[in-house]
Structure 1
Amino acid sequence: MKLTALAAETLHSVIPELQLDKITQLLEKPKHAQHGDLSFPCFELAKMKRTAPPLLAADIATQLRNAMIEKTEAVGPYVNIFFRKDMIQQKVVYIILKEKENYGTIHLKNKETIVLDLSSPNIAKPFSMGHLRSTVIGNAIANILEKSGFETVRINYLGDWGTQFGKLIAAYLKWGKEEKIRRNPIPELLKLYVKFHEEAAVNTDLNEEGRRWFKQLEEGNEEAVSLWKWFREESLKEFNKIYALLGVTFDSYQGEAFYNDKMDQVVQMLEEQDLLKESDGAQVVELDDPSLPPCLIKKSDGATLYATRDLAAALYRKKVYQFSKALYVVGQEQSIHFQQVKEVLKKANFDWAAEMHHIPFGLLLKDGKKMSTRKGKVVLLEEVLKEAIQLAERNIESKNPDLPDKEEVARQVGVGAVIFHDLKNYRVNSVEFSLEDMLKFEGETGPYVQYTYARANSILKKGKWTGEVIDKGLGDNYSWELTKLLQEYPEVIANSNKAYDPSLVAKHIVDVCQAFNSWYGNVKFLQEDAEKGARLALVSATAIVIKESLRLLGIQAPQEM
């Protein structure tokens, strides 16, 4: 039940001169309820007809007829449309209760596959708050894509190769203690990494030592490879604890090292197509876009680079997954890099490169500055999640100490608070890390949305709701504002899918919760009267939409709080 479509079709029957899409585009939502549910401005049509807009509005208002429309009125150049609240509400609630969590789902005949490159932390470094953004944004986009009818492949492209591993091996051999790392792997490896950079600032020979060890790693030196594998395994164990807390899973953990034996094919392919040019001893591909620098494929010492690896990864993924789109959920500072990779593939006549899209996001800032692992100024995600869970536990103990499964609910609320704090922001905007804001249990937060869901469940339980179909709607303004938001939900999903923007879902569900709580504050839900069944039906429909919205964002919905 889409109100804009209903209004547009009714208007189109009266003004066929304007195309249906154009009418839909022109429809507005009035700021005040007394101006109707939707409003149609007549300026554009008046120009076509060479008529004064107020006269045209008055004429259209008298002609509009639809059983779902209660009344229309002309106010100056606008046609204001008021819908039949009870009839619309009955239909919207009926659809939601029938479709349940499938409400808003698109069923495509031919399922296309979309691969997503997300999370991608660096091995042997802690999983910082900085990695949270790629992980939760990518996971939510994948959920929304699946609801929109696509198959997804979630790839955790681990940073498990590069000169930094030579530096880490050198640091471990100089200062490392095996028993310390076995006891507490990631913090100890971080200490070594930070110490290396502190010492290298004084003794620059250390950097050369790091490069030598990485060269030995590339050449298969037994000691170097053994240490690298150990660092990787220990890191993955730690990362998987975080992913389990966040409820995020992957279809592939193929990191940078996986493509080591696939890069020569890329270089050979570019040579065969005469795309490689020499520049100061290095091999580059010159790009047609004058705003982009040449793409560096091979350094003067013969070493390959990120671009070479990403080209190999793109070709491999296309071959294996036959994707229709490839999304790279990576920070916006990598924008030029992805443009270069895409342009190289286009020059090499891979048409599908047009469907590779960088999905950028802003930085997570601490005191207005980017977090840095190298200098040790890093906020660990695991510590933040644990602190959020502990705060949730304290709140439960003070407000509802007899709550069943207190520990599990605290985990859902604490983790949900952290995820929601990120996803309610448009992804391209940078987000200031603030534990205090993240963990507030009122306002536009995850706990507020979860609590509204628990409240709805409590009402249904007390009202002994059995899920029966109600052939009745309500006519009050409070429930009507909520109904209008619920009927917009499929459109919100569609828009979020098109823009790869989970914040649209997060913002919408906050609006739904606010409308629900406003209704809750003005109505006696459990009063035994003729409208009790219709009220409970709308409560149930609201609970379904809240729970499904949270699921799409990667957040669980506790039954009780």
Structure 2
Amino acid sequence: MQKTIYAEAINEQTNGALTMDAVVKLIEKPKFKSQGDFAFPCFALAKTMRKAPQKIAEELAATIDHPLFEKIVADGPYVNGFLEKQTVSKQIVNAILEAGSSYGSHSFGNGQSITIDFSSPNIAKPFSMGHLRSTVIGNSLAKITEKCGYAAVRINHLGDWGTQFGKLIVAYRLWGNEEKVRQAPIKELLALYVKFHAEAEKEPRLNEEGRLWFKKLEEGNEEANKLWKWFRDESLQEFSKIYALLGVEFDSTAGEAFYNDKMDKALELLAEQKMLSSSQGAEVVDLAEYGLPPLLAKKSDGATLYATRDLAAALYRQEQNQFSKAWYVVGSEQTLHFKQLFLVLQKMGYRWAEEMTHIPFGFVLKDGKKMSTRKGEIVLLEEVLAEAIRLAEENIDEKNPSLKNKQEVAKMVGVGAVIFHDLKNDRQNSIEFSLEHMLRFEGTTGPYVQYTHARACSILRKSSIEISGGSSSGLKDEASWAVAKLLMEFPNIIEKSFLQHEPSAIAKYVLELAQEFNKYYSHVKILADDGELESRLMLVKAVAIVLEEGLRLLGVKAPSEM
């Protein structure tokens, strides 16, 4: 709001030499606090106004006058605005107290649908740390889209089809033990999968057997189908425990197998538009005009592929959800696949395909290396979450042994630490797995932000004044102004995280707000009984609201006591 007012004042004084949008985009945050709250560079005006940027800055600084600003000064080619601290801090705090958790919301989504394809683990394999990234990034993006006025459709496109199931069936028939699998399904199925690959290196014919059994599965063989269904059901039960711990829900768990009867339609549509051509016996869609290799739609043996399945899935989802955007939160190694997929849909004449986006991310590394299910080199997410909760409980026992709901809080802290550790990193970066770093109560961690929120709640409980509404009279000291200015940024951060598909923008923001609030807490006697007590408590309440909402958007809970 304040930024828009500044832009309007500049626009008015320059007779609309630039559009309002252009002015808003040009306004920066000065490098140093002493330079003010907003800086507008005048370079873009030099051509139309036929003056030096420095001269334009001097003229604007002399003519702009607004009660929201304490002063406007020229700083070389920049016009710097200093907000009137008390007035603006009053506006910000009152806006947050009035809006509550809906502060920072936007309505530009207009209720349109966004399908978000995320998590998508392979069945019959354990849910490893490698699956965490897609799951928590996708879950956070779904919450962010809703905060921006969209309807999020959460899709878990399970990997429940493919040659690996033929291999698993072979492994089970050769070495499997039904009782062992029933007792620990995922553990046993992983052991069989790893054993198959180790044995296949010595006996390559096993790979051929795996292909034959997958073909039997595709043809509806009773034994193959029974085993596949059993593997799938057991996996989903295991996954549901992890999703419940992470607080992740889906609107659809239709996996790859769901599209088996929908792929012929996709191939027919390609054939109707004469987009298919033969290449070494296979059917492909040529993408040479885009400088890309062809999309392989049908193999020489008549089998359909991953790409055909994704084409069928996109057509089905558009028909079902009429999405305005479709996001795929899938690792960066699939970049080429999605480029091909989106271009083929655009070539088919579907305008909606222009709003399909691949949202890639880096790996979770262990000792600097990517984890591999095939070699059994993985860290199980369930074990990580259990250990994180246990360590959080130990921490609470040490720091606050009389805490009520200790186990519930330990779960919030332990799980929150794992999620936050992932989301504080730019999603394109790979991250090193470290349980020790995740759970620290200081530094750039989830527990640090949660603890800051609990501290704000504790201050409010200690006060004799009930802050349930009312109107702040504003504060003008530097410590509270630093906090109020950050609170003002929250709506912009939400929009930025949406536009950049980047939950880390919110994670970094709540860390900065927690740090600034802790500085405030250490410099100011918040509960001192003077004329500004109520305004200080209102600022504390505003911080608690924004920290809790910021954490919620990341999929992290905010305990009120720790």
TM-score range, shorter chain: over 0.9
Aligned length: 560
Instruction: String of CA shifts for 1:228-257, please: whole Å, max 9, x gaps.
Output: 111001000100000000000000110001
- Rounded to whole Å, the distance in 1 between the matches of 2:346 and 2:326 is 14
Q: Give the distance between the partners of 1:237 and 1:295, measured in 2 at CA.
A: 35
C-alpha distance in 1 between matches for 2:21 and 2:418 = 40
- Provide Cα deviations, 1:422-468, integer angstroms capped at 9, x if missing partner: 11111111112222222222111111110110000001111133324
**Distance in 2 (alpha carbons) for counterparts of 1:519 and 1:249:** 37
Change over 3 Å in CA distance of 1:115–1:530 after alignment to 2: same
Between stretches 439-448 and 107-116, larger displacement belongs to 107-116
AA in 2 matched with 1:560: E
Which residue is equivalent to 1:548?
549
- TM-score, normalising length from structure 2? 0.97
Deviation of residue 186 (structure 1)? Answer: 0.4
1:477 — aligned with what?
478
Contact 1:421–1:445, Cα closer than 8 Å, also in 2: yes
Following TM superposition, by how much is the alpha carbon of 1:275 offset from its aligned partner in structure 2, in angstroms?
A: 1.6
Report deviation, 1:20. 2.6
Query: CA 1:50–1:431 in structure 2 vs 1: closer, same or farther (change >3 Å)?
Result: same
> Is it true that 1:24 corresponds to 2:20 in the alignment?
no
Aligned amino acid, residue 78 of structure 1: Y
Residues 317, 52 of structure 1: alpha-carbon distance in 2 compared, 3 angstrom cutoff:
closer
Gaps in structure 2 of 5+ consecutive residues: none
Residue identity matched to 2:204: T
How far apart, in 1, do the equivalents of 2:134 and 2:104 lie? 25
Partner of 1:385: 385
Q: Distance in 2 between matches of 1:527 and 1:363?
A: 49
Deviation, 1:342, is 1.4
Superposed CA deviations along residues 529-556 of structure 1, whole A, max 9, x for unmatched, are: 0000000001111111110111110010
Residue matched to 1:13 = 12
Quote the Cα distance in structure 1 between the aligned partners of 2:472 and 2:111: 36
The reply on whether 1:186 has 2:200 as its aligned counterpart is no
1:470·1:533 contact (CA, 8 Å) conserved in 2? no
Judge conservation of contact 1:282–1:300 (CA < 8 Å) in 2.
yes
Distance (whole Å) between structure 2 residues aligned to residue 242 and residue 285 of structure 1: 39
Report the RMSD for the aligned CA atoms in angstroms: 1.4
The answer for the alignment partner of 2:95 in structure 1 is 95
User: In the alignment, which residue of structure 2 is the partner of 1:503?
Assistant: 504
Q: Counterpart of 2:3? A: 4
Q: Percent identity among equivalent residues?
A: 59
Q: Once the 2 structures are TM-superposed, how far is the Cα of residue 109 of structure 1 from its aligned partner? A: 8.3
Structure 1, 24-33 or 186-195: larger mean CA deviation = 24-33
Residue aligning to 1:120: 120
- Taking the aligned partners of 1:93 and 1:504, their CA distance within structure 2 comes to 22
Alpha-carbon separation, structure 2, partners of 1:46 and 1:268? 58
Secondary structure of the corresponding residue to residue 521 of structure 1: helix
Deviation at 1:471, TM superposition (A): 4.2
CA distance in 2, matches of 1:349, 1:80: 49
- Which amino acid letter does the alignment assign opposite residue 11 of structure 1? I
Aligned 1:516-535 pairs, distance under 5 A: 516-535=517-536
> Is residue 166–residue 213 contact of structure 2 (8 Å, CA) maintained in 1?
yes
Q: Give the gaps of 5 or more residues in structure 1.
A: none
73-82 or 453-462, larger mean C-alpha shift: 73-82
CA–CA distance in structure 2, aligned partners of residues 471 and 330 of structure 1: 46
1:309 aligns with 2:309: yes
**Residue deviations 1:18-76, cap 9 Å, x none?**
43333323322222222111223334434544444444433322222111111222333
Structural mapping, 1:399-438, within 5 Å: 399-438=399-438
2:383 pairs with 1:361? no
Question: Which residue in the other structure is 1:74 paired with?
Answer: 74
**1:7 alignment partner AA:** Y
The answer as to whether partners of 2:71 and 2:83 remain within 8 angstroms in 1 is yes
1-side partners of 2:108 and 2:62: how far apart?
40
Which SS does the other structure have where 2:57 is aligned?
helix
1:118 maps to a residue whose letter is F
Deviates more, 1:397-406 or 1:59-68: 59-68
Q: Which residue of 2 aligns with 1:160?
A: 160
TM-score w.r.t. structure 1 length? 0.97
Work out the CA distance in 2 between the residues paired with 1:305 and 1:480: 58
Greater mean alpha carbon deviation, residues 285-294 or residues 484-493: 285-294
- For residues 234-313 of structure 1, the aligned pairs below 5 Å read 234-313=234-313
Partner of 1:559: 560
Paired with 1:355 and 1:215, the residues of 2 have a C-alpha distance of 36
